[in-house]
Amino acid sequence: MMSIRSLAGACLSAFAALGAFAVPASAQNYPTRTITMIVPFAAGGPTDVISRIVTAHMAQTLGQSIVIENVVGAGGTTATTRAARAANDGYTLITGHMGTHAASVPLYPKLAYHPEKDFEPVALLAGTPILILARKDFPPKDLKEFVAYVKANAEKVNAAHAGIGSVSHASCELLNSILDVKPVGVPFNGTGPAMNALVAGQVDYMCDQIVNAVPQIKAGTIKAYAVATPERNPSLPEVPTTTEAGLPAFQAQAWNAVFAPKGASPAIIATLNAAAIKALDDDNVRKRLLDLGSVIPAPANRTPEALATLVKNEIAKWTPVLKPAS
Amino acid sequence: MELFANLAHGFVVAFSPINLLMCLIGALVGTLVGVLPGIGTIATVAMLLPITFGLPPVGALIMLAGIYYGAQYGGSTTSILVNIPGEATSVVTALDGHQMAKQGRAGPALAIAAIGSFFAGCVATVLIAVLGAPLTKLALAFGPAEYFSLMVLGLIFAVVLAKGSVLKAIAMIVFGLLLSMVGSDIETGASRMAFNIPELADGLGFATVAMGVFGFAEIIRNLDHGAEMDRNLVQQKITGLMPTRKDLIDSSPAILRGTVLGSILGILPGGGAVIASFAAYTLEKKLAKNPSRFGRGAIEGVAAPESANNAAAQTSFIPLLTLGIPPNAVMALMVGAMTIHGIVPGPQVMQKQPDLVWGMIASMWIGNLMLIIINLPLVGIWVRLLRVPYRLMFPSIVVFCAIGIYSVNNAPVDVVLAGAFGLVGYWLIKHDFEPAPLLLGMVLGPLMEENLRRALLISRGDWSVFLSRPLSAVLLAIAAGLLVLAVLPALRAKRDEVFVESEG
């Protein structure tokens, strides 16, 4: 019969063996099973599409499949809260974006997570430039005239946005704060209805991501004054940048990036980051992202450290703009 | 002649074996989704979207479209059989559909729903092909003021369709409106009546409330003592599976009118299909020689809303195909599907993607044909389901409802809330409050509030916009007229009562 002591000893050593086995295995052989990527928005939206394009390639590199889980609600913060509370073993990741990991800080005072404290940055995937758009018969012809017109008619103009906390809302608030105007902001439920109102001429202007706007601009149902990135976008070569058009202060893009819950091991982060970079260098991935009007980050901006800096800067950028609104 | 060439091209695309298969899968899944209570089209399309990424884009969209309009066919099934509307658009179908089932006429009710849907689907498909582009103007003519007025009209419909007391119907609408205010304020993002429950931040779901006040409440009611006779009634007295000649003659004009109303209202982004079904029902009740038959198993009360919701489901593709703007959540998911395939829909989608647009239009006709072929024989099976003993059927309904509610947001809180609404619903039934106006108030409430606030934001607080914009003024006038029509008989009845009393 086994004595109590030897039983306890056996248990202990088994425990120790288990622990010794478990810790390095999760980091060294990672990944050994399917990874879940939480996307905080509905399937088919810009963040979802970018995630799917990049993670499909990452899955090949990692040799494990990556399942996308779309968790919608409360401007993406529901999903981000869930990701913050997930196990930090590298098997639950999240594609966060400008809203969930920066603008949410001033917008939701009771936010159940903090983008910097509760997440490990993994890699920046792609940015979607913001455009300044207007109804097709809005009087100003270019951005200079637009600035003058909006300032002169601040009481009369209406700016549409896709709901509090949306990219279009945040970027419009940034534009308005730079112009120092307070037009009436008309909220819509999503970019579709907002775009419908702009096409129908019920509202004067809005800021929105390039994906939805390109076909409307090309068809002449709305017009674009400028793109808020340092360089012109290949999908709209005729639209000037805000710098060229005389409003260099307005720089905005809806960036999308992968984050892991806080405490994920550096080895896992490095593995994931390498896979993401490899995906961003793949010709097919690049083509698909560029077709969407996305901006692929330069090599220097693809490290976890660069992403950490981006998050910090973005929180600093959006906090003063969005604080008074909430 | 270009039209015929385009349509011919569309049929060539739609008749390719892979697209026919996609269409069939879509129709089958749609029927299933419609039939299973609680599992909505939005959730299903969202869940199936990733699967379509591996498919060719035209096939993928044909399948997703099939799910969407297929669900309109299936949605009526549970409304009729067990008084549980699977979709917001089949809430009114339950009113007379379930009464028909209680009279042993579930077969004709299901059949007429399928026939009406088929007719409406075919007409609406032609409409998309012929008038899609000019009708787009209607979608753009509707600004916030017009929407608000349309919602007012919609709520008046809810009063009219109540079969009992007008006052109780109004109370239910107001209750529905109140429930719709739970969530986040659209303008400020402030939390309203959410009690710090994160799951309530985006408001109460339709499925949660509908399954509660219709589904669970109905089951509780069936379990109480007095309902036993009712139950036996549904189970034993089944007469004929197909509509009689008289049924067909009675419902033909209703199907026609429902199709017209549904086609027009479907083009409007937002709650088009829901309003269409209510409007069609109201119209039939108003036109009927004997309105008191409604709510007691009138076949027109099934034929009209079912035709309307299917017509609306089809014409709601118009803004997507001509403007590239998704008019509702399901369409937004379809735009997502296109985007993933590298097609960004816009005003030029018809010229740039003729395969996609015309293939999809042609597939809708084929899909409708498939759906009627699927659905008519199913009528026999569904009716036989009624013979399943209640001790087996009720638990399975509860389980399916719970799965459905959970699957919408993967939120356990929703299931608990549905249970609570079941108790609320039972109390309401016991006190002769009807749940249909409540649901209409809840579905239309957010649209009404948001558009009221948008209209007033744009007009800088000037209420006269609702009257100075012609379309809005006309809608409000119709609403006022309908309200008078609804209240007058009640007033007259009261006067009669007074006379009776004074004579006695």
For B320-330, write each residue's pLDDT tens digit: 888 777 877 78
A273-289 pLDDT per residue, tens = 999 999 999 998 898 88
Q: Could you give the percent of chain B with pLDDT greater than 90?
A: 24
Average pLDDT estimate for B294-322: 89
Which of B142, B344, B356 to mutate against chain A (most A CBs within 10 Å)?
B344
User: What CA–CA distance (Å, rounded) separates B97 from B107?
Assistant: 10
**pLDDT higher than 50, residue B284:** yes
Check if B144 contacts A (Cβ < 8 Å).
yes
- Cβ distance of B457 and A186 shorter than 8 Å: yes
Instruction: Please tell me the predicted confidence (pLDDT) of residue A192.
Output: 80
pLDDT of residue A67: 87
Neighbours of A139 (CB within 10 A): 10
Phi, then psi, of A243 in degrees rounded to 5:
-65, -50
pLDDT at B270 over 90: no
CB pair distance less than 8 Å for B186 and A187: yes
Phi, psi of B40 (to 5 degrees): -90, 170
What is the average pLDDT value for chain B, to the nearest integer? 84
In Å, how far are A3, A38, A61, B205, B492 from B189, measured between CA atoms? 65, 24, 41, 18, 46
- DSSP-assigned letters across all residues of B109-138: HHHHHHHHHHHHHHHHHHHHHHHHHHHHHH
CB-CB neighbors (< 8 A) of B194 in chain A:
none
User: Which of A71, A185, A190 faces B332 most closely, judged by CB atoms?
Assistant: A190
Predicted confidence band at A243 (pLDDT cuts at 50, 70, 90)?
A: very high
Comparison of pLDDT for B501 and B445, the residue scoring more: B445
Residue B479, both tokens: 């609403």
A44:B49 CB<8 A: yes
User: How does pLDDT run across B430-454, given as a tens digit for each residue?
Assistant: 898 888 889 888 888 888 898 999 9
Task: Report the amino acid identity of residue B108.
Answer: P
- CA of A289: which chain B residue's CA is closest? B342
Answer yes or no: do B189 and A165 touch at CB < 8 A.
yes
Report the number of secondary-structure helices (H) and strands (E) in chain A: 11, 9
Complex prediction ipTM: 0.80
Tokens matching residue A7 = 């039983």
One-letter identity of residue B38: G
**To the nearest whole number, what is the mean pLDDT of chain A?**
85
pLDDT in tens, A191-207: 888 888 899 999 999 99
Rounded to 5°, angle at Cα A42 from A38 and A47: 65
Q: Comparing B36-45, B105-114, B307-316, which segment has the lowest mean pLDDT? A: B36-45
Output the CA torsion sign for B85, B87, B93, B95. Answer: positive
Return the closest-CA partner of residue A191 out of B351, B331, B453. B331
Contacts of B194 (CB under 8 A, 6+ apart): B182, B183, B184, B200, B201
Mean pLDDT of A309-324: 87
Judged by a CB distance cut-off of 8 A, whether residue B335 touches chain A is yes
Q: What is the rounded average pLDDT of the residues A43-68?
A: 87
**Percentage of chain A with pLDDT > 90?**
41
More confident residue, A181 or B237: A181
What's the full length of chain B, in residues? 504
Least confident residue range of A254-268, B44-58, B176-190: B44-58
Q: Round to whole Å and give the CA distance between B481 and B471.
A: 15
pLDDT digits (tens, 9 = 90+) for A3-16: 444 444 444 444 44
Task: Return the percentage of chain A with pLDDT > 70, whole number.
Answer: 90
Over residues B42-66, mean pLDDT: 84
**Res B500: pLDDT:** 47
Burial class (CB in 10 A: 0-12, 13-18, 19+), B163: middle
Name residue, tokens 């009771």.
A110
Coil, helix or strand at residue B495: helix
Count of beta carbons in the 10 Å neighbourhood of residue B122: 19
Structure tokens at B248: 């067909």
Contact across the interface for A196 and B269, Cβ inside 8 Å: yes
Where does residue B240 fall: left (phi above 0), alpha (psi -120 to 50 degrees), or beta otherwise? left
d(CA A247, CA A242): 5
Q: What are the residue boundaries of the structural domains of chain A, listed by start?
A: 35-127+254-322, 129-245
Residue A225's SS3 state is strand
- Tell me the per-residue pLDDT of B116-146, one tens digit each, with 9 for 90 and over: 999 999 999 888 888 877 777 777 888 889 9
| Chain position carrying tokens 């609680």 | B38
Which pLDDT belongs to residue A133?
Answer: 95
B497 pLDDT more than 60 = no
Tokens of B498: 């007074």
Total residue count of chain A as it appears in this document: 326
Of residues A139 and B286, more confidence is placed in A139
CA distance B152 to B137: 22
A35-127+254-322 in CATH: which number? 3.40.190.150
C-alpha B473/C-alpha B44 separation (Å) is 38
- CA B189 to chain centroid: 28
The pLDDT score that the predictor gives to residue B493 is: 63
The pLDDT, as a whole number, for residue B394 is 83
Q: CATH number of A129-245: 3.40.190.10, 3.50.50.60, 3.40.50.300, 3.90.550.10?
A: 3.40.190.10
Which residue matches tokens 């999908």?
Answer: A235
Say if the Cβ atoms of B50 and A68 lie within 8 Å: yes
Alpha-carbon distance of B248 to B496, in angstroms, equals 37
Contact A211 B450 (CB under 8 A): no
pLDDT of residue B271: 65
- Distances in whole angstroms, Cα of residue A81 to Cα of each of A54, A94, A162, B185, B493: 23, 10, 22, 21, 58
Rounded to whole angstroms, the Cα distance separating B161 from B170 reads 11
Calculate mean pLDDT across residues B267-280. Answer: 81
User: CA A211, CA A230: separation in Å to the nearest integer?
Assistant: 18
Percent of chain B with pLDDT over 70: 92
Q: Which of A48-52, B202-206, B336-340 has the highest mean pLDDT?
A: A48-52
Q: Report yes or no: B167 and B431 within 8 Å, Cβ to Cβ.
A: no
> Which of B53, B142, B326 is the closest to A192 by Cβ?
B326
Contact at CB, A203 and B458, closer than 8 angstroms? yes
Structure confidence at residue A28 (pLDDT) = 66
B442 with B177: CB under 8 angstroms?
yes
Bond preceding residue A31 cis, omega within 30 of 0: yes
Could you count the other beta carbons within 10 Å of the beta carbon of residue B462?
11
* Domain count within chain B: 1
B187 touches chain A (CB under 8 A): yes
What is the predicted pLDDT for the residue at A16? 45
Lowest mean pLDDT among B342-351, B412-421, B478-487: B342-351
**Other Cβ atoms closer than 10 A to B259:** 28
List the one residue out of B233, B175, B219 whose CA is nearest residue B434: B175
For the residues A225-243, what does the mean pLDDT come to? 92
Alpha-carbon gap, residue B67 to B70, rounded angstroms? 5
- For residues A56-84, give the mean pLDDT: 85
Taking 3-state DSSP, the helix, strand and coil percentages for chain B, each rounded to the nearest 5, stand at 80, 0, 20
Owning domain of residue B161: 2-503
Asked if B37 and B78 touch (Cβ cutoff 8 Å), the reply is yes
- Quick one: tokens of A255? 């960036």
Chain A interface mutation, best of B267, B339, B453, B459, highest count of A Cβ atoms under 10 Å = B339
pLDDT at residue B374, rounded to an integer: 87
CB spacing of B189 vs A195 below 8 angstroms: no
Question: Which of B142, B340, B348 comes nearest A218 by C-beta?
Answer: B348
Q: What are phi and psi of B392, to 5 degrees?
A: -95, -40
Indicate the SS3 state at residue A223: strand
The distance of A168 to chain B (nearest Cα, Å) reads 14
Does the structure show a pLDDT above 50 at A131?
Answer: yes
With beta carbons less than 8 A apart as the criterion, state whether B108 and B244 touch.
Answer: yes
pLDDT band at A1 (very low <50, low <70, confident <90, very high): very low
